[in-house]
Structure 1
Amino acid sequence: MLTDSFLDYLRYERNYSEKTVFAYGRDIAQLQEFAQGEEGNFNPVSINPELIREWIVSLMDKGYTSTSVNRKLSSLRSFYKYLLKQGVVDVDPLRKIAGPKKKKPLPSFLKEGDMNKLLDEVDFGEGFRGCRDHLIIEMFYATGMRLSELIGLDDRDVDYSASLLKVTGKRNKQRLIPFGDELKDAMLEYVSVRNETVSERSGAFFVRGNGERLYKSLVYDIVKRNLSKVVTLKKRSPHVLRHTFATTMLNNEAELGAVKELLGHSSLATTEIYTHTTFEELKKVYKQAHPRA
């Protein structure tokens, strides 16, 4: 039987483990079962692309993930590659078959209530470090800037009179980000405490106790430690606060194009992922609130 000879080939010539060989055999058996149900028999030589596509759809309907389906297709591709090599078939029925695309995970973000609790109720500590760490969280949330952009911010990049920040993003592309009075007051308070505490400094806006610019892992730890006080998200990174900024803006009726410019995205398609996030939230609210949801 063709399947048995293929599995022996994997076992003895390719030295695949028994677990792997079993998985290949199970995948082929699943197609066989489907073909028998649809056409009454299973003949690998006569399998056509239409049947393969119908099989893929049936797997997705049963709840298989795109990863699982693509793995099964990989097994079949190996099977037909073997049959081509043996001269059993002339054409691979999978040559024009594209597997289902993997869904991109939706961005993790904090709800507005969690952010308010973090900024208004959590104790960040006294003195320079407490003031700095609080401002780091607030600036990520208020501006949506990237980690590298926050670290790279210099004193000269802050225009208090115009309430604008000049940041340098990917590929050294610069953009201006507006900020409100609340963030302005927090920034001025930080600068005052910083200048009193750290006498010798670099030109960086955010500095360590020795006056040098912050580094990525330090900021990451500051964010992770403080987010852990209010949420149990697996991801507790600066990028989560960037996601939170974008989601909050869209939830409060900001235009997608404006959010794109504020985030420094080169493509609107990148920003659109947040519309899916907000829609998922709407679905949750609907299911919780509507009696017939």
Structure 2
Amino acid sequence: MQLHAAIDEFVLYIEIEKNYSVNTVTSYEYDLQLFLTFLTDHGCSTCLNEITKTQVRRFIQYLLGSLKQKPRSVNRKISSLKSFTKYCLKEQYLANDFTRGIESPKTDDKLPVYMTLTDLKHLFDYLEHTKSRFSMRNEIMFKLLAITGIRRSELVSSTWEQVDLINETIRIDGKGKRTNIAPSSTLNAASGIL
């Protein structure tokens, strides 16, 4: 089987059967298409059973060297390849796992830096008194992030249909197609507390 055909099958599988989010499916597809492009550009076979560990290692070297990608980004691509080969082995498209023994580059695990309550108060105060075109939008967005714990991607993809003004709630469509309901009244509470 050719790599491009196996990628198509895998993408359908994670989209339909695994019900992965659109962003996750897009990321997997991008990573695998990048690997396919690398093999094609370097004159390598794209027959699934002719791909070797050496080619995978050269792909990683290419990502880190020529494309100057960060180890965390490279690790995601390796993870995509490993999930893909696991699927291909299960479906018997592939005889040998060409990612077995491939290790991820070390990353600098930096701990997140959180805002203090004082910093949050200063931010909210600034946002409440700013008079720009998008000041109200910015204030609401930052308060939603701080008070509800919504992820940035969840906030960006939010629509008016998710806001229930009668019940004062916001439906948050999260990772793994999970849905959470957050009370929108937390914004009013936030204004009073902070």
Residue among 58, 67, 90 paired with 2:72: 67
Matches within 5 A, 1:40-51: 40-51=44-55
Q: Distance in 1 between matches of 2:9 and 2:21?
A: 16
Q: Which residue of 2 aligns with 1:15?
A: 19
Q: Distance in 2 between matches of 1:15 and 1:34?
A: 28
Q: Which residue of 1 aligns with 2:108?
A: 103
The runs of 5 or more residues in structure 1 that have no matched partner are 106-220, 222-293
Matches within 5 A, 1:256-275: none
Larger radius of gyration: 1
Shift in Å, 1:45: 2.2
Shift in Å, 1:96: 0.6
Q: Is the 8 A contact 2:15 2:21 kept in 1?
A: yes
Distance of aligned partners of 1:60 and 1:10 in 2 relative to their CA distance in 1, 3 Å threshold: same
Q: Is the 8 A contact 2:15 2:25 kept in 1?
A: yes
Shift in Å, 1:44: 2.4
2:37 matches 1:33: yes
Q: Is the 8 A contact 2:48 2:93 kept in 1?
A: no
Q: Which residue of 2 aligns with 1:88?
A: 93
RMSD of Structure 2 on Structure 1 (CA)? 2.0
Q: Distance in 2 between matches of 1:29 and 1:36?
A: 10
What SS class does the counterpart of residue 54 from structure 1 fall into? helix
What SS class does the counterpart of residue 50 from structure 2 fall into? coil
What SS class does the counterpart of residue 10 from structure 2 fall into? helix
**Paired residues, what number?**
108
Q: Which residue of 1 aligns with 2:133?
A: none
Q: Distance in 2 between matches of 1:97 and 1:55?
A: 11
Shift in Å, 1:40: 4.5
Shift in Å, 1:78: 0.7
Q: Distance in 2 between matches of 1:64 and 1:3?
A: 23
Q: Which amino acid aligns with 2:94?
A: V
Q: Which amino acid aligns with 1:31?
A: F
Q: Distance in 2 between matches of 1:93 and 1:83?
A: 11
Q: Which residue of 1 aligns with 2:83?
A: 78
Q: Distance in 2 between matches of 1:83 and 1:89?
A: 5
Task: Spell out, residue by residue over 1:58-91, the C-alpha distance to the aligned partner (whole angstroms, 9 max, x if none).
Answer: 1001211110000011111110000000111121
TM-score, reference length from structure 1: 0.35
Q: Which amino acid aligns with 2:46?
A: F
What SS class does the counterpart of residue 90 from structure 2 fall into? helix
Shift in Å, 1:26: 0.6
- Runs (4 or more) in structure 1 with deviation over 6 Å come to none
TM-score, reference length from structure 2: 0.52
Q: Which amino acid aligns with 2:20?
A: Y
Percent sequence identity is 33
Q: Distance in 2 between matches of 1:40 and 1:92?
A: 17
Distance of aligned partners of 1:40 and 1:90 in 2 relative to their CA distance in 1, 3 Å threshold: closer
Matches within 5 A, 1:105-254: none
